[in-house]
Structure 1
Amino acid sequence: MTTDSTASWTAAFRSAVISSHENIDLFELRGFADQTLRQIIRLDGGGSALRIRLSNRYGKEPLHIGGARLAIRTEGSGIESGSDTPLRVAGAEEFTIPVGEDAVTDPVERTVTAGDELAVSLWLPEDTGLSTYSAVPLRTGYAVPGNALSAPALDGIEGLEELVTRHFISGADVLAPAGTTIAVAFGDSWFEGTGTTPDTDRRFPDLLNDRLRDAGSTGWVVNQGLSANRLLTDEIGEHALARLQRDALDVPGVTHVLIHFGLNDLGIPGQEAYPQAAPGPTAAELIAGFTTLADRLHAAGLTAIATTVGPYKDTVFEGYATPEGIAVAREVNDWIRGADSPFDAYADLAAAVADPADPDRIHDDYDSGDGLHVNDAGAKALADAVDLAFLKI
């Protein structure tokens, strides 16, 4: 491959992953055997070459991949004729990812642009055990029996399954012009996109990217949201302070980090489904956690942009919204908006979607229906609430 000395590897897609071995029942837990997975990724930015990141980070068995292919996706599980190409690791089309490790494919010399939809197909000949996966990718994937790596479409193959979770794929990098800058949306379900319409790319980071492109920006935002994730303690995935290095600081090209946490720290402890959850934090504890987060970002030379904790008073999830928790959220939001916050800037996401008559709840026009997450219109309101001058990407 010919390399451009003025270009560098830059994150163009991210999908935060969690373990199927956690003690949770929110998401389907599964593995695969003698099956082909075809999963769709949409690039946030482009470049002259591409590489895919695959993960067996939480697997209990070595992940044997009998073959992997990359193609341009047409619609559904279909791929564009002539676009299919092998993905290799260290030159091999068949490879194994050890337990607890990740792999990066060899570069594919192909010009890609923001918005390109790519199909990544994995042939899994052996039992994978429970997978390393993304719980809420909001992008339909496909699984069929046997080796169907180069099938033009998987529709019509007996045993076809449609997947609402994404498995083994954690990201894609592109060879972009040197100096291309990246913002990481590092947060919970408000960033991952729960509540927005699947397969439409109407999540907050997607819509913020639309605004950036319209403004002529050469940089973009990648999404490291993780539904049900917490700032201070593990519950769904490692807590924010634990995963910060991997999911933000180590992202190639990162210059800015947008942050949204706190809802699950306050809400999960009140739910019967989580009797083992650590107690809800005080405002002082959350503020200390946010301060540590900002300090670590600044120590890495990054711009730290906070967002206010979203309103959730009328959520349908029993036990999630308590008067004590809502009072803490108000106090934390006042601190984020105040002069003592260590962040370089903030976006007032709470105010952007709150009911003016009752700011502790989501406005009906922006409510996904569960009182905790926003719909497509709400995601647009969140994206519109970010001052692009803060990003400078």
Structure 2
Amino acid sequence: MISLPPPARSTRGWSAAWTTAPQRPGTGFVSNWSERGFAHQTIRQIVRPTIGGDTIRVRLSNVYGTAPLTVAGATIALGAGGAAVQVDTLRHLTVDGERTFNVAPGAECATDPVPLTTAGLEPVAVTLYLAAPTGPATYHAQAMATSYRCEGDHQADTDGGAFTETSQSWYHLSGLDVRGGPEHAAGIVVFGDSLTDGTASTPDADRRFPDALAERLAAAGRPRAVLNQGIGGNRVTVDSAWLGDRATSRFRRDVLGQPGAGTVVILLGINDIGISEVAKASPFPVFAPYTEVRADEVITGHLDMIRQARTAGLRVVGATVMPAGPSVFSTASSEAKRTAINTWIRTSGAYDAVIDLDRALASPAHPDRLDPAFDSGDHLHLNDAGYRAMAQAVDLDALG
């Protein structure tokens, strides 16, 4: 699959404060609105930028659309809980000065800047009124946050009462950028799979690994943008209709396309080796295709991403692959692959720095398993304490 280039837009003076990785419309792990899309409906989506500023813009994605996306109106405001927003912060969004605008198929667009002071680590609501049928919608499957929908035009509502339908995905929303406000070091893109995406963390609580890392940086007096570019089920080497383009392909768009980013943390590989085992045991349609992946193929993919990052001038930090026993992902074969990949990450010197999440999160008694205190219950994903432990395992100086 051909990698899409970073969006064509000016990045001068802007820093990405919040992002998510676009995905193809699909059934996914849970029901969502992406395949049907929207018509004469308003969607309100709540996100939490990790740094603040006094000016903001929104990035919208139609990367997987086959027709122009017409936005009949859009607003942004500080959140006030649920679907409500703070009345005096509501701003209308425009593109080239127009409140109605199009996003071309296969493309992303940035709105005009609007004055809105945000402190960072506080909720921001983006509301889109989509009057004309959109067709299937570019989305992000696992938001771990509630999005709201209602019939008709409610883009300027502040009390949220009309928004009676909910979803756990984000739609057409790919980023919020800020400028102004305090100076920050360059942003950090966390590029990964469900362990970056935050699967099994508490919904609407912002307890994913990148959230915990952003909070730790802020508490240490070193606030920086931490951008979550995880996709649940994503693989280094395999394209999937439901689980995203392979990491080596989407890296250019999802990492190098982020304004103000200076460091990337790569945490990938468990799905390449684990889904190889699922194919042998109990195939599940969302994991297709069931491609057998070798450890050296995962390592070659890591080297490709390192090369892309270095060419763009980014610092590259590698994270070891965490254990998955006794889940279906863990067999003698997959453990041998995981050991080989982690040995290479630790000892090859290919990365500028290494975060050894494997050793930090493993059970002291059973190194092929997560520490029970961090296990969400499926032996693969973490609970809130586990995601905090991931953030605590990061040497902040290693981030550059």
Provide TM-score, normalisation by structure 2.
0.91
Q: Who is 2:342 aligned against?
A: 333
Which residue number in structure 1 is paired with residue 246 of structure 2?
A: 239
Partners of 1:142 and 1:162 within 8 A in 2: yes
Shifted more, 367-376 versus 170-179: the winner is 170-179
Q: Write out aligned runs for 1:145-184 (5 A).
A: 145-155=151-161, 157=162, 160-176=164-180, 180-184=185-189
- Structure 2 segments unaligned to the other structure (5+ residues): 1-11
- Aligned partner of 1:137 in structure 2 is 143
Aligned partners of 2:159 and 2:105: how far apart in 1? 31
Corresponding residue number in structure 2 for 1:311 = 323
Q: Equivalents in 2 of 1:89, 1:221: separation in Å?
A: 26
Q: Tell me the distance in 2 between the aligned counterparts of 1:259 and 1:27.
A: 29
Task: Report the equivalent of 1:206.
Answer: 211
1:229 aligns with 2:234: yes
Is 2:311 the counterpart of 1:299? yes
Aligned to 1:55: 61
Shift of 1:298: 1.6
One-letter amino acid of the structure 1 residue matched with residue 134 of structure 2: T
| Residue 80 (structure 2) aligns with | 74
**Structure 1 residues 276 and 180 mapped into 2: Cα distance closer, same or farther (>3 Å)?**
closer
| Distance of 1:27 and 1:186 partners within structure 2 | 25
- Paired position in structure 1 for 2:225: 220
Give 1:296's aligned amino acid: Q
1:253 to 254, 260, 277: 260
Determine if contact 2:142/2:197 at 8 Å carries over to the other structure. Answer: yes
Tell me which of 17, 22, 29 is aligned to 2:22: 17
* Structure 1: 5+ residue stretches without partners: 1-6
Matched residue, 1:354: 362
Alpha-carbon distance change, 25 to 138 in structure 1, aligned in 2, over 3 angstroms: closer
Return the TM-score normalized by structure 1. 0.92
CA deviation profile, 1:193-241 (whole Å, cap 9, x unmatched): 1111111111111111111112211423111111111111112111111
1:140-162 deviation line (CA, Å, top 9, x unaligned): 1100011111112232x3x7201
Q: Which amino acid aligns with 1:216?
A: G
Q: CA deviation at 1:46?
A: 1.2
Q: Give the Cα separation in 2 of the matches to 1:247 and 1:326.
A: 29
2:300 to 272, 288, 292: 288
Matched, 1:110 2:116: yes
Counterpart for residue 323 of structure 1: 332
1:40 to 6, 21, 46: 46
Which residue of structure 1 lines up, in the alignment, with residue 371 of structure 2?
A: 363
**Counterpart contact for 2:196–2:230, Cα < 8 Å:** yes
- Matched residue type, 2:151: P
Q: After superposition, what is the alpha-carbon deviation per residue over 1:32-86, rounded to whole angstroms, capped at 9, x for unaligned? A: 1111101111111112210000011111232111100111110111011121110
The range that moved more, 125-134 or 23-32, is 23-32
The answer to whether the 8 Å contact 1:212/1:220 transfers is: no
Contact 1:20/1:130, CA 8 A, preserved across alignment = yes
Deviations 1:305-364 (A, max 9, x none): 00001111122xxx43332112101111111111x2300111111111111111111121
Alpha-carbon distance, 1:180 to partner: 3.7
2:94 equivalent in structure 1: 88
Change (3 A) 1:118 1:61: same
Tell me the secondary structure at the aligned position of residue 212 of structure 1.
helix
CA RMSD of aligned residues (A): 1.8
Write the distance in 2 (CA, Å) between the matches of 1:151 and 1:64. 20
Q: Which amino acid aligns with 2:302?
A: F
Please give the alpha-carbon distance, in whole angstroms, between the structure 2 residues aligned to 1:350 and 1:86. 46
Residue type at the aligned position of 2:217 = L
1:245 counterpart letter in structure 2: R
> Are the equivalent residues in 2 in contact too, given 1:8–1:178 (CA < 8 A)?
no
Shift of 1:276: 4.6
Check conservation: 2:15, 2:259, Cα contact below 8 A: yes
Tell whether the 8 Å contact from 1:90 to 1:106 is kept in structure 2 after alignment: yes
Match of 1:190 among 178, 191, 195: 195
